[in-house]
Structure 1
Amino acid sequence: MPGRTRTLRFVIVAVLALMAPLLTPLAAEASAPPAPAVGSCHTYDWNTFLGVSDSSAPVSCSGPHVARTVFVGRLWTDEAYSSMLNDPKIIQYMVKQCLVPTQQAIGPWKTVAVAGYDGSFFVPTSAEYGAGARWFRCDVSLPGAGHLYPIPNQHPLASPLSPGQSRCIHLTSQGGLPVACAAPHSYRAAGVVWVPGSAYPSRSTWLAVAQAHCPPIVRTSRWYLTGVSSVRWSAGDHYLTCYRPTTT
């Protein structure tokens, strides 16, 4: 689960089958350390954001903070720690569980489509897992390119959405990275298009919809687009985002 594979980035990805939850407590949980609290705020750094665990203490939400916990779920597994970190079923299970609480913390799907906020998840440390901890935590943050920006103490986070909190695209050698517009960027979200239908669109469908609708939104011959993952589509987000170039 290295780096950005643990974030809920706004890209088109395949979704694996979800892990079926068990209905009985795991024996190891009897003496487990307490789980994190929904609503807690945090000030971790970029390396922690890219990591798998965060053992720092929460901070007051009335003061500066870069993340807020919006959901705490349960890991229904007793497999080895290293195996758990790399189990695609568990990763996709956490992504699925984090998705809607993350959306609700940011705003309606139409707002999420143009906001720079992102979701991520954390699991217990190896020592906590060994002591019986079986939780996972979903956080919302405002990432740039190697930096986390402060988030407001309000709900939803993107109401109103400030220019610096909007979603932009930072171009890298690997392609475009969605970031908060406070970060260096090459494209800024200019508007969204609702993609009709019930079946998840193919790549060619995303492109066809964008070619038909993005030019009048961006009003320039050069533009950028992002779609959504199939899990977000299933959750009700059918928005395609159109971006116009910037010089910022």
Structure 2
Amino acid sequence: MRRTVALLAVLLAAGCSATPPPGTDGDLADDWAALGTPAPFRPAVGQCHEALATTAPLDGHRPVDCAELHVSETFHVGTPADADVAPAPGTPGAKAAYRECSDAATGFLGGPWRGARLAVQVVWPTRAGWTGGARWFRCDVTTADLDGRSRTSRTGSLAGELAHPSPLRLACFDPTVEGGTVTAMTAVPCTGKHRAEFAGLWDAPDISYSKLESGTRLSAAGCRSTIARFAALPDDSDLQYRSGWISYNPTRPEWLSGERRVRCFIYFAERTFSRSLRNAGPGVLPVR
């Protein structure tokens, strides 16, 4: 028994040596790195998503590689003004975020996105995230039809998509019209027979969305002037006898966000063309 006690004493003495091991100073309390301040989650640019959303809960944040099938792509993350709650739709803060996203989209895509089958979406933190200190908004881009409501999956990033010829650019169409209402706009090559062509954008006045949708007088005047510039035609009362027009308004959420650009198309009920009508002039489009 005495030999056992002696052995323990030797081991304890060795473990408590006054000389610290090489590379240490013998102080266990002075070399711990200070813990950083916890930071709220902030999304990253260049991530793609399987769905389009208006808010982004942290527990639902599952981005996918943009080479895989996805619906939307984050191209910009902004920082809004601090507030107790995230800006509500239609407020100055929400409109400012949309303007920032829209401007950033033009640079990211390499051209004006309202002239293409694309839509821009502002995504906000959830109420819980905002309360926890999240102060950001995410700018996502998605492909969309002319109504701005159809989102389809795609592969690959949209970066620089409009810097070169792209099938997403609005060009020539073969419209289906029933009772004065356009029910479909089928994209066709401008070298093929078509009855409509994208002429440009018209900036609508800051009126209520219901007033914009309720009549055609404003859209007719705005789109006819847009068509006159596009086709090099006199912008006068005879323009209505040279061509018709089709307009696509922003969606209601876009209008609430401050989007006022209306898409205008030159249109013919009976005539067809196999060329672009840009700068066509009165010789090609006489008064009829």
TM bin (shorter chain) = 0.5 to 0.7
Q: Distance in 1 between matches of 2:140 and 2:184?
A: 17
Deviation at residue 107 of structure 1 after TM alignment: 2.7
Q: Distance in 1 between matches of 2:176 and 2:75?
A: 26
Query: Could you say what the CA RMSD is over the residues aligned between the two structures, in angstroms?
Result: 4.4
Q: Tell me what 2:84 maps to.
A: 79
**Cα gap change, 1:52 to 1:142, in 2 (>3 Å):** same
Q: Report the residue type matching 1:157 in the other structure.
A: E
How do 1:131-210 residues align onto structure 2 when only pairs under 5 Å count? 131-144=132-145, 145-150=149-154, 152-158=156-162, 159-162=164-167, 165-167=168-170, 190-193=197-200, 203=218, 206-210=222-226
Paired residue total: 190
Deviation at residue 99 of structure 1 after TM alignment: 1.5
Unmatched tracts of structure 1, length 5 or more: 1-29
Pairing partner for 1:63 from 65, 68, 90:
68
Q: Distance in 2 between matches of 1:108 and 1:101?
A: 10
- Deviation track 1:11-64 (CA, whole Å, cap 9, x = no partner) reads xxxxxxxxxxxxxxxxxxx644221111111111xxx43x33353311112222
Instruction: Say which SS state the counterpart of residue 64 (structure 1) adopts.
Output: coil
Deviation at residue 155 of structure 1 after TM alignment: 2.5
Instruction: Say which SS state the counterpart of residue 96 (structure 2) adopts.
Output: helix
Is 1:225 aligned to 2:247, yes or no?
Answer: yes
Instruction: Say which SS state the counterpart of residue 85 (structure 1) adopts.
Output: coil
How do 1:34-53 residues align onto structure 2 when only pairs under 5 Å count? 34-44=41-51, 48-49=52-53, 51-53=54-56
Higher RCO, 1 vs 2 (CA within 8 Å, ≥6 residues apart)? 1
Deviation at residue 245 of structure 1 after TM alignment: 7.4
Q: Distance in 2 between matches of 1:142 and 1:193?
A: 19
Q: Tell me what 1:3 maps to.
A: none
Q: Distance in 2 between matches of 1:211 and 1:192?
A: 6
- Deviation track 1:134-189 (CA, whole Å, cap 9, x = no partner) reads 11000111124443342532531233312xx3448999xxx98999969xxxx997
Is 1:91 aligned to 2:94, yes or no?
Answer: yes
Deviation at residue 100 of structure 1 after TM alignment: 1.3
Instruction: Say which SS state the counterpart of residue 123 (structure 1) adopts.
Output: strand
Q: Report the residue type matching 2:64 in the other structure.
A: V
Q: Tell me what 2:131 maps to.
A: 130
Stretches (4+) displaced over 6 A: 168-171, 175-180, 214-217
Structure number, greater radius of gyration: 2
Question: What TM-score, normalized to structure 1?
Answer: 0.58
Q: Distance in 2 between matches of 1:243 and 1:141?
A: 26
Q: Report the residue type matching 2:100 in the other structure.
A: Q
Deviation at residue 102 of structure 1 after TM alignment: 0.9
Q: Distance in 2 between matches of 1:104 and 1:180?
A: 28
Q: Distance in 2 between matches of 1:188 and 1:134?
A: 48
How do 1:94-133 residues align onto structure 2 when only pairs under 5 Å count? 94-109=97-112, 112-133=113-134
Instruction: Say which SS state the counterpart of residue 134 (structure 1) adopts.
Output: coil
- Deviation track 1:40-91 (CA, whole Å, cap 9, x = no partner) reads 11111xxx43x3335331111222222111111112122235xx33460111
Q: Report the residue type matching 1:124 in the other structure.
A: P
Does the 8 A contact of 1:114 with 1:189 survive in 2?
no
Q: Distance in 2 between matches of 1:64 and 1:188?
A: 34
Q: Tell me what 1:242 maps to.
A: 265
Unmatched tracts of structure 2, length 5 or more: 1-36, 189-193, 206-217, 234-241, 270-288
Question: What TM-score, normalized to structure 2?
Answer: 0.51
Q: Report the residue type matching 1:212 in the other structure.
A: A
Q: Report the residue type matching 2:108 in the other structure.
A: A
